[in-house]
A = this chain, B = another copy of it.
Amino acid sequence: MAVVVQKYGGTSVANAERIKAIAARIVKREKRGDDLVVVVSAMGDTTDELVALAQQMTDQPEAREMDLLLSTGEIVTSTLLAMALKHAGQPAVALSGAQAGIGTDHRFGRARILKVNPTRVRKELEAGNVVIVAGFQGLSEEMELTTLGRGGSDTTAVALAASLAAERCEIYTDVEGVYTADPRVCPKARKLIDASYEEMLEMATWGARVMHNRAVELGALYKIPIYVASSFSDAKGTLIHGGPYMEPTNKVMGIAHDKDVARITIRGVPDQPGIAASIFQPLGENSISVDTIVQNASVERLTDVTFTVSQQDLDGAMGIVTPVAKKIRASEVLADTHLAKVSIVGSGITSGLGYAGRMFKALFDAKINIELITTSEIRITCLVDEDKVEEAVRSLHSAFKLEKAA
């Protein structure tokens, strides 16, 4: 029998009623004959409540104790769901991340999964159980409980799917799938039947409302098809997979946007070898994730280096970059937070003819100024004024006729 791994997020298991509703869905699905492994998040506000308790103790809780504290949330959900299933006559067993064999490094708060030992899970499946696994957590070699950080439960689910050679991984959440743009911004946005891993990754920020890039990357690596759908309805979701395509499909599949952008520009940087490393190495060492980097062609051996970070990392990044800029004798450092990114995403569009031109034309027609342009294999991104970005999404959605399936 095929193994299927499902994951239910926080809103899907927000309270006792929701957990019972999920149990009913699982019982129905189990009758279709697959071996089910179900990964759960903490109930609704549980994590926030635990964080609030910790903050009453100290303004700087240590990551190790925080992990031990937060890991209880998912364990509670897993036991309740197992109880609800057994009450409905479905044999089930709840396992902590440690019991499910999720082995991690010991970077508390943002641990990486090093290996999954699926022995116990397999044994429980063979015994006829639906196996409920507490997501977001693992055990280090030193017997320390760890949490996986952002996208943790999604990552648990995909990692388990990979280690069990599952047929697919199903992520159930409070949205019905992946759309051609954020439906809250663009009312004409259309739900996609499928998307490639790469396209899903590029849909970036609002895609992360659906599932975290980290889990998508893991799915791509192990070629696990990921089905994203709503736990609140039976509407068909979106299948993310490697695709049957021999060649890129060469069309725009969606419009992504991201308002959490801060831009830093270092002006008058001497154009000499090693300069880029001297700027970006200390940022990396301080765990500041740099997004877009643009270096203009130099004029009189001086160049401008521009990059973007998330808004919460701006102060940290400025604190690191300002002394570096002084040391390399750059003329000044500028910061700007009133910007946002808008992207067209689709396999093959960068090499395809005319997509960039059509994008710039659509923004020009909408009187939206482009501050910066970057491209990847399957994405063209423009930095625009933050106040204009939603209009930009709608304009581009219309320009590329995404309201209709191709």
Q: Is the Cβ of B50 less than 8 Å from the Cβ of A65?
A: no
Contacts of A81 in B (CB 8 A): 57
Assuming the contacts A120-B143, A145-B96, asked whether A83 and B68 have C-beta atoms less than 8 A apart, the reply is no
Assuming the contacts A84-B58, A86-B62, A143-B99, asked whether A16 and B68 have C-beta atoms less than 8 A apart, the reply is no
Q: Is the Cβ of A76 less than 8 Å from the Cβ of B72?
A: yes
Nearest-neighbour CB distance to chain B for A145, whole angstroms, equals 7
Closest 8 CB pairs of A and B: A58-B87, A72-B72, A69-B79, A57-B83, A16-B56, A57-B84, A65-B79, A58-B83
Q: Is the Cβ of B76 less than 8 Å from the Cβ of A53?
A: yes
Give me 16 A-to-B residue pairs in the complex whose CB atoms sit less than 8 angstroms apart, sorted by A's number: A16-B53, A23-B57, A53-B76, A57-B80, A57-B83, A58-B84, A60-B87, A62-B82, A64-B93, A65-B82, A65-B86, A69-B76, A69-B79, A72-B75, A96-B145, A99-B144
What is the bound-complex CA distance between A98 and B142, given in angstroms? 12
- Interface SS of chain A: helix
Nearest-neighbour CB distance to chain B for A62, whole angstroms, equals 6
Q: Which of B68, B80, B145 contacts A54 (CB 8 A)?
A: B80
Chain B residue nearest in CB terms to A50: B76
Contacts of A71 in B (CB 8 A): 75
Asked if A94 is an interface residue, CB under 8 A from chain B, the answer is yes
What is the bound-complex CA distance between A58 and B98, given in angstroms? 26
Contacts of A93 in B (CB 8 A): 64-65
Nearest-neighbour CB distance to chain B for A77, whole angstroms, equals 10
Contacts of A16 in B (CB 8 A): 53, 56-57
Chain B residue nearest in CB terms to A81: B57
Q: Is the Cβ of B75 less than 8 Å from the Cβ of A94?
A: no
User: Chain A interface (Cβ within 8 Å of chain B)?
Assistant: 16, 19-20, 23, 50, 53-54, 56-62, 64-66, 68-69, 71-72, 75-76, 78-84, 86-87, 93-94, 96, 98-99, 120, 143-145
Residue among A61, A65, A80 facing the most chain B CB atoms (10 A cut-off): A65
Chain B residue nearest in CB terms to A70: B79
Chain B residue nearest in CB terms to A23: B57
Contacts of A57 in B (CB 8 A): 16, 19-20, 23, 80-81, 83-84, 87
Contacts of A62 in B (CB 8 A): 82-83, 86
What is the bound-complex CA distance between A75 and B68, given in angstroms? 7
Chain B residue nearest in CB terms to A65: B79
Contacts of A98 in B (CB 8 A): 143
Q: Is the Cβ of A80 less than 8 Å from the Cβ of B69?
A: yes
What is the bound-complex CA distance between A137 and B72, given in angstroms? 14
What is the bound-complex CA distance between A61 and B19, given in angstroms? 15
What is the bound-complex CA distance between A76 and B58, given in angstroms? 15
What is the bound-complex CA distance between A71 and B114, given in angstroms? 26
Residue among A16, A81, A83 facing the most chain B CB atoms (10 A cut-off): A83
Q: Is the Cβ of B69 less than 8 Å from the Cβ of A53?
A: no
Q: Is the Cβ of A54 less than 8 Å from the Cβ of B69?
A: no
What is the bound-complex CA distance between A98 and B60, given in angstroms? 26
What is the bound-complex CA distance between A82 and B64, given in angstroms? 10
Contacts of A82 in B (CB 8 A): 62, 65
Q: Is the Cβ of B96 less than 8 Å from the Cβ of A68?
A: yes
Q: Is the Cβ of B68 less than 8 Å from the Cβ of A79?
A: yes
Contacts of A96 in B (CB 8 A): 68, 145
What is the bound-complex CA distance between A75 and B58, given in angstroms? 17
Residue among A53, A57, A86, A120 facing the most chain B CB atoms (10 A cut-off): A57
Q: Is the Cβ of A83 less than 8 Å from the Cβ of B65?
A: yes
Chain B residue nearest in CB terms to A84: B57
Contacts of A83 in B (CB 8 A): 54, 57-58, 61-62, 65
Chain B residue nearest in CB terms to A99: B143
